[in-house]
Amino acid sequence: MTNKTGHLLVIDDDADVLTAAQLLLKRHYAQVVVDEDPGKIPRYLEQQNWDLILLDMNFALGANSGDEGLRWLGKILELQPATSVILMTAYGAVDTAVKALKQGAVDFILKPWHNERLLTTVANALQLRATRAEVQHLKSRERELLPVSPASGLIGASPAMQTVHNVITRVAPTTANVLVLGENGTGKEVVAQEIHRLSKRADEVFIAVDMGSVTESLFESELFGHKKGAFTGANGERIGRFQAASGGTLFLDEIGNLPLHLQGKLLSVLEQRQVVPVGANTKVAIDVRLICATNMPLRKMVKDGTFREDLLYRINTVEITLPGLRERGDDLSLLLTHFIDFYARKYNLPKRKVTLETLAKLAAYPWPGNVRELRHAVERAMIMGNHEQLQANELLFSAAEPEPAAARETATAGLDEMNLDKVEQLTIERALRKHKGNISHAAAELGITRTSLYRRMEKYGL
């Protein structure tokens, strides 16, 4: 037997209305409490949180203005802002309904009602509450996580980055879709966050989805949501990323990894600005600012027939190409200082200096993993170093390309030690060097997903 959920409170001065509502709703929801006296509302709100309150609009004898209902609506939303309220009345004045919706009611129903109409209205109101709660949770998580990100803010004053800054400044206030191109580790998500921060949606949610880690079987559920029972394991309703990001910004990373047969589904949503959750029959309107990113050559993929040309046109109203770290000149010094300061605060460590000699050695290194590689190198060196100054060999510990003989010796050393973690680390390092930091290619050669590779890189500090 399915466990019922939902805590409902019904307030109406008509005993027959209360009886009818309780008999109908208790078959579908976990708790249905009814009462004739609106004066008890504050006490009910003190006792527990309610998912939904059905509230009559007129209680005094002969009253039909709806003022009492609107007054109690304001009190409910003051005491429990997250509670959904549906107002009920036998007088169907349109202006009263509009006033109620403007003041925070989620819907309006006339008495006497049709049972199916009431059940649908209640179900929609509860779903709206759940959606708002999930979006609020995502916003809270975003506020918690973004300030502590070592990559927060777009750092760089080189000519190449000044060009990027200029494009961001011009495109951010618009609603244009943006495509961010660049090698792995160049900061594509940081650019997306900066566009969001400078946009008119800055107070709304920013949601990032790594398309390379979304399995084909869960693509629609993850992005569009699903209804309870839509497939095996769908034990409850879930809103998709498009709905969760509605009103804000949706960042689709590694868009080039999306299989061709799923590209059409994404294109359809972008064109119609509606999603249909898996197992649902109705469309849900969405309002998102879309930013996509990839390190793959989309135009070549269009020619090869592996990426839809119409989808490419849809996602790149404005295109931003990020330079590699080796192309950014003095930005290396700025980023180095930023990461040293960040990890000194994070781990309560003294700040360490960098000599000109060390900086010169770092500038000569090609940084195939770009800013991400530099960040990991600084974090490792800050934790493991014992000197006042950061040394080049600390920062380039696993980055320097060994000679072929040395590479073979290093690779077999892990095997001789019979240490599985060491063997795995060395194998990953070799794959990353071979593919010059390209995560997708390294993961493919290792036979694991990009997500798994990132997890192992974090484990070994790579």
Q: Is residue 410 part of a domain?
A: yes
Inform me whether the pLDDT recorded for 462 exceeds 80: no
pLDDT of residue 408: 42
pLDDT of residue 400: 46
pLDDT tens column, 296-314: 999 999 999 999 999 999 9
Q: Rounded to whole angstroms, what are the CA distances from 104 to 77, 86, 227?
A: 8, 10, 26
pLDDT tens column, 315-373: 999 999 999 999 998 899 999 999 999 999 999 999 999 888 989 999 999 998 999 99
pLDDT tens column, 80-89: 888 899 988 7
CATH number of the structural domain spanning residue 375 = 1.10.8.60
Do β-strands 274-275 and 389-390 pair in parallel, antiparallel, or remain unpaired? unpaired
Q: Which residue has the tokens 């060999």?
A: 393
Inform me whether the pLDDT recorded for 195 exceeds 60: yes
CA 119 to chain centre: 32
Q: What is the DSSP string of 224-290?
A: HEE-TTSSTT--S-EE-HHHHTTTSEEEEETGGGS-HHHHHHHHHHHHHTEE--BT-SS-EE---EE
pLDDT tens column, 132-183: 776 666 655 554 444 444 545 689 999 999 999 999 999 999 999 999 999 9
Q: Compute the mean pLDDT over every residue in the chain, rounded to the nearest whole number.
A: 84
Q: pLDDT-based confidence at 279, cuts 50/70/90?
A: confident
Which residues, in sequence order, are CB contacts of 289 under 8 Å at separation 6+?
175, 177, 196, 199, 201, 248, 249, 250
Q: Which residue has the tokens 């900066």?
A: 194
Give the span between the Cα atoms of 17 and 11, in whole angstroms. 9
Q: Is residue 26 part of a domain?
A: yes
pLDDT of residue 99: 78
Domain count, the chain: 4
% the chain with pLDDT above 90: 43
Domain end position, chosen among 71, 99, 130:
130
pLDDT tens column, 61-77: 656 677 888 889 989 98
Residues 163, 182: contact at Cβ < 8 Å? no
Residues 180, 420: contact at Cβ < 8 Å? no
Would you state the structure tokens that stand for residue 152, as one six-digit string? 């927060």
Inform me whether the pLDDT recorded for 405 exceeds 70: no
- For residue 10, the cross-strand partners are 34, 54
Would you state the structure tokens that stand for residue 120, as one six-digit string? 């649908």
Which residues, in sequence order, are CB contacts of 251 under 8 Å at separation 6+?
189, 192, 193, 196, 206, 207, 208, 209, 291, 292, 293
Which residue type is seen at 272? Q
Q: pLDDT-based confidence at 230, cuts 50/70/90?
A: confident
Residue 87: other Cβ atoms inside 10 A = 25
Q: Are residues 53 and 202 in the same domain?
A: no
Residue 81: other Cβ atoms inside 10 A = 9
pLDDT of residue 336: 93
Inform me whether the pLDDT recorded for 277 exceeds 80: yes
pLDDT of residue 122: 92
Domain end position, chosen among 262, 289, 323:
323
pLDDT tens column, 258-273: 999 999 999 999 999 9
Q: What is the pLDDT averaged over residues 17-39? A: 92
pLDDT tens column, 366-394: 998 999 999 999 998 898 887 788 888 88
Domain end position, chosen among 282, 306, 323:
323
Peptide bond connecting 159 to the previous residue in cis, omega within 30 degrees of 0: no
Inform me whether the pLDDT recorded for 208 exceeds 80: yes
Q: Is residue 139 part of a domain?
A: no
Q: What is the pLDDT averaged over residues 126-137? A: 73
Structural domain range at position 17: 7-130
Q: Is the pTM of this model over 0.85?
A: no
pLDDT of residue 392: 85
CATH number of the structural domain spanning residue 177 = 3.40.50.300
Query: Which ranges of 3-114 would DSSP assign to H, the alpha helix?
Result: 15-25, 41-47, 67-79, 94-102
Q: pLDDT-based confidence at 94, cuts 50/70/90?
A: low
Residues 7, 51: contact at Cβ < 8 Å? yes
Q: Are residues 293 and 173 in the same domain?
A: yes
CATH number of the structural domain spanning residue 120 = 3.40.50.2300
